[in-house]
Amino acid sequence: MLPDASDYQQLSARFRWAVPPRFNMGVAVSDAWATTQPDLPAILDLRGGTLETLTFGALAERSNRLAHALRAAGVARGDRVAILLPQMSEFVIAHVAIYKLGAIALPLAALFGVDALEYRLANAGVRALITDAPGLAKVSSIRARLPQLDLLVSTDGPDGAAFGFAQLLESGSPAFTPVDTGPDDPAMMIYTSGTTGPAKGALHAHRVLLGHLPGVQFPHEGFPRPGDRFWTPADWAWAGGLLNVLLPSLYFGVAVVARRFDRFDPEAALHLMAQLDVRNAFIPPTALRMLRSVHAAGRRYNVDLRTLASGGESLGAETYAWGREAFGLTINEFYGQTECNLVLASCMAMGVSRAGAIGKSVPGHICDVIRPDGSRCEADEPGQIAVLRPDPVMFLGYWNNPQATQAKFIGDWMTTGDQGRRDADGYVFFFGRDDDVITSSGYRIGPGEIEDCLLRHPAVEAGAAVGKPDAIRGEIVKAFIVPRTGFKPSAELAADIQSFVRTRLSAHEYPREVAFIDRLPLTTSGKVIRRELRERG
C-alpha cells in the first residue's frame, strides 16, 4: 500500500514493497474480510433489473464449497481451470476457489469465438471449465478435440455432461483449508491479444495482486476512501477488469458493481453509475468517447464519481478536457500490459497530470523509454516503453514458451512493444504499438493524436487512424469515421474532415483517405482492433 506523502517525489522515496513469504490471493480477497465483517458487500450483481448482493461471508463460504467440490472432482494444485463467464458473482466465487485450491485460473472473454476458445483451452491443457449456457454451447462443438478437459460446470444448471454450479456448491463442504502458497507460486494465466502471432498465456503468481495495489491507489487518489464503490465496463476476463478493479477492490473491502453489457451503451452506463452510487470507475478511452455523445452526461444523470481512470490506449487531450467538464474531475490515465500491468499512471491529487501523457512511474516500479540496445533514451527521444525487473507485478513467463519469454527482455528491461517518449519532467507519452505506428514519408506518426483531433469535428462520433501501404510515401494515414446522427457520409464531408485535421495538426498527419463505417471494431476491453481496419484497405 502507498504510504502517506505530500507529493510524488516524497511518495516514491518512501515506498517499499512488503511481499510476505506466504500469500494466497483467494484468502486475501475473501476470508480476511469474512472473518471480521461477514456482512460487508463484496459484489453488487445487477441482473435483469434485480440487484443481488454477495457478501464477503458468502464469498468465503461458497468459494470454500466450490474448492472442495473441484478437489473431489480431481482438480489438483497447478491444474488449469478456465472461467468463461460475464461479470457476475459466480465469476468471483470461481476465481477465489481456484486460488484457494492452488490451481491456476484462466479467465476467458465471454465474446470469444469457438476458434479462440479451442486454441486457449488446448494450449493451456485446461482440466475444468466453469461457464454458462452460451459458453457451454460453444465448447460442445470442440469438446472432442480437448481430451484433457475432464470437467464442465454451468452456472445455468446441469446440462448433459455439465454439472450445475449451484448443485456443485451444495455438494461441497463449507470448511476448506486453503493450499499453502507462496507469493511466487502460479495463480492465474491471461492470454495476450495475439497481435504479433498466436496468443500467448502470460502466467502470473499470487504476488501479482500485491503488485497492482499501488497502481490502483495512485490513479484513484488514495483508494480506498469511505464510500468508495467500483465499477468498470471492461470484461473481468481482461487484466484491466480483473486486476485493475475486481481483485484489488475486494482486497481493500470495497464493493464492486457487476453488470453485463453485451455492447457498451453510454446511456445505460451513466444510469448504472448513478443508480448504484458508483464512486470509482475505470472506463477505457473508446467507451469514454462514446460517453461524450451524451449531452451533459454527468449532470443529467447525477453521476457522482470521486475518481475516474482510463487506460488501454491513448486518451487524448480532447477527452481529457471533456472529463473535467462532464464530471468535475480529472481523468487519471494509467498504463500497463498483460505481462506487467499498472506501472505508469497519473494522479491529479499528487499533481501528476499532464494532457496527452500517460503519467509517471507508479511508486515501486521503474519504467523508462529505451533504445534497441537497452540504453535509456534522452528526454523527448522516441523509443520503446520498458519496465525494469524484478517487479512483483511482472509475469512469471509465457506458458510453455521460454523462447518468447526470453525475447520479451533486453537485459533486465521487459519490453512492451509500445512506442513513446519521456519528457524532461518524467512524464511518459504513448505513441502506439509497434504495429500501430504509421510511417509516412519518413515521419513516424502515432494514431492517438490524429484520432483526438478527429473527435473535435462536429460530424465525428468516433474515429480511428491506421496506416495504408503507399508506393510513394511508404504508408498514408487512412481514417475510419463513425458519423454522428444527422450527418450523412459524402465526399464533401470526407474532404471537410481532411481539411479540419490538416489545419489543426500538420500536412503529414492528416488522413489522405477517409472511409465511413457504422461502428469501430473493438476488443472486449474496448480497444480499437486496428488490424481489422488495416485489412479493409
How long a stretch of residues is the chain? 537
Average pLDDT over residues 429-441: 75
Each residue's pLDDT tens digit, 377-432: 999 999 999 999 999 999 999 999 999 999 999 999 999 988 899 999 999 998 77
DSSP string for 247-269: HHHHHTT--EEEE--SS--HHHH
Q: How sure is the predictor about 46, in pLDDT bands with cuts at 50, 70 and 90? A: very high
Each residue's pLDDT tens digit, 245-277: 999 999 999 999 999 887 788 999 999 999 999
Q: Is it true that the peptide bond before 390 is cis, omega within 30 degrees of 0?
A: yes
Per-residue pLDDT at 47 exceeds 60: yes
Average pLDDT over residues 21-41: 97
Average pLDDT over residues 120-146: 95
Average pLDDT over residues 16-28: 97
**Phi, psi angle pair for 124, to nearest 5°:** -85, -10
222 CB-near residues (< 8 Å, 6+ apart): 2, 349
pLDDT, position 524: 62
DSSP string for 202-221: EEEETHHHHHHHHHHHTTTT
CATH of 436-536, one of 3.20.20.80, 3.40.50.880, 3.30.300.30, 3.40.50.1950: 3.30.300.30
Per-residue pLDDT at 163 exceeds 90: yes
Average pLDDT over residues 181-203: 85
Q: Are 6 and 13 in contact (CB under 8 A)?
A: no
- Coil vs helix vs strand at 421: strand
The region of weakest confidence among 98-107, 110-119, 219-228 is 110-119
Share of the chain above pLDDT 70, in %: 96
Q: How sure is the predictor about 441, in pLDDT bands with cuts at 50, 70 and 90? A: low
Average pLDDT over residues 189-209: 84
- Coil vs helix vs strand at 59: helix
Per-residue pLDDT at 126 exceeds 80: yes
pLDDT, position 317: 82
pLDDT, position 443: 61
- Coil vs helix vs strand at 238: coil
Mode of pairing for the β-strands spanning 151-154 and 460-470: unpaired
What does the DSSP 8-state code read for residue 504? H
Q: Are 93 and 42 in contact (CB under 8 A)?
A: no
pLDDT, position 194: 52
pLDDT, position 195: 46
Average pLDDT over residues 68-72: 97
Label residues 483-493 b or e (16+ Cβ within 10 Å = b). Answer: beeeeeeeeeb
Q: How far apart are CA 253 and CA 1, in angstroms?
A: 14
289 CB-near residues (< 8 Å, 6+ apart): 319, 455, 462
Q: How sure is the predictor about 447, in pLDDT bands with cuts at 50, 70 and 90? A: confident
Grid-cell match 507469493, residue found: 183
Burial class (CB in 10 A: 0-12, 13-18, 19+), 425: exposed
User: Of 313, 319, 413, which is closest to residue 366 (Cα–Cα)?
Assistant: 413
User: Of 127, 139, 116, which is closest to residue 77 (Cα–Cα)?
Assistant: 127
Q: How sure is the predictor about 465, in pLDDT bands with cuts at 50, 70 and 90? A: very high
DSSP string for 291-359: HTTSTTHHHHHT---SEEEE-SS---HHHHHHHHHHHSSPPEEEEEETTEEEEEE-BGGGTB--TT--B
Q: How far apart are CA 154 and CA 258, in angstroms?
A: 19
Domain ranges of the chain: 25-39+58-181, 436-536
Cell of 213: 495495489
pLDDT, position 401: 95
Q: Are 463 and 451 in contact (CB under 8 A)?
A: yes
Average pLDDT over residues 70-78: 97
- The DSSP H or E segment spanning 535 is helix 530-536
Average pLDDT over residues 109-116: 83
Q: How sure is the predictor about 197, in pLDDT bands with cuts at 50, 70 and 90? A: low
Helix, strand, coil tally for the chain in percent (to 5): 30, 25, 40
pLDDT, position 112: 81
Q: Are 280 and 306 in contact (CB under 8 A)?
A: yes
Q: Are 313 and 448 in contact (CB under 8 A)?
A: yes
The region of weakest confidence among 77-91, 377-391, 414-428, 435-449 is 435-449
Average pLDDT over residues 279-303: 86
Question: Mean pLDDT highest for which of 82-91, 423-432, 442-451?
Answer: 82-91
Q: What radius of gyration do the chain's Cα atoms show?
A: 23
Average pLDDT over residues 443-467: 85
Per-residue pLDDT at 464 exceeds 90: yes
Looking at domain 25-39+58-181, its CATH architecture is 3-Layer(aba) Sandwich (3.40)
Per-residue pLDDT at 339 exceeds 80: yes
User: Amino acid identity, residue 90?
Assistant: E
Whole-number Cα distances in Å, 441 to 381, 468, 500, 503, 509: 19, 12, 21, 19, 10
User: Amino acid identity, residue 377?
Assistant: C
The region of weakest confidence among 98-102, 124-128, 287-291, 507-511 is 507-511
What does the DSSP 8-state code read for residue 145? G
The region of weakest confidence among 22-26, 287-291, 349-353, 496-500 is 287-291
Mean pLDDT of the chain: 92
Q: How far apart are CA 278 and CA 332, in angstroms?
A: 17
pLDDT, position 525: 61
Average pLDDT over residues 120-142: 96
Q: How far apart are CA 81 and CA 89, in angstroms?
A: 17
pLDDT, position 272: 96
Share of the chain above pLDDT 90, in %: 76
Q: Are 508 and 440 in contact (CB under 8 A)?
A: yes
Q: How sure is the predictor about 299, in pLDDT bands with cuts at 50, 70 and 90? A: confident
Tally of CA atoms within 13 A in the half-sphere of 289 that contains its CB:
30
Tally of CA atoms within 13 A in the half-sphere of 362 that contains its CB:
30
Average pLDDT over residues 43-61: 96
Cell of 85: 463467464
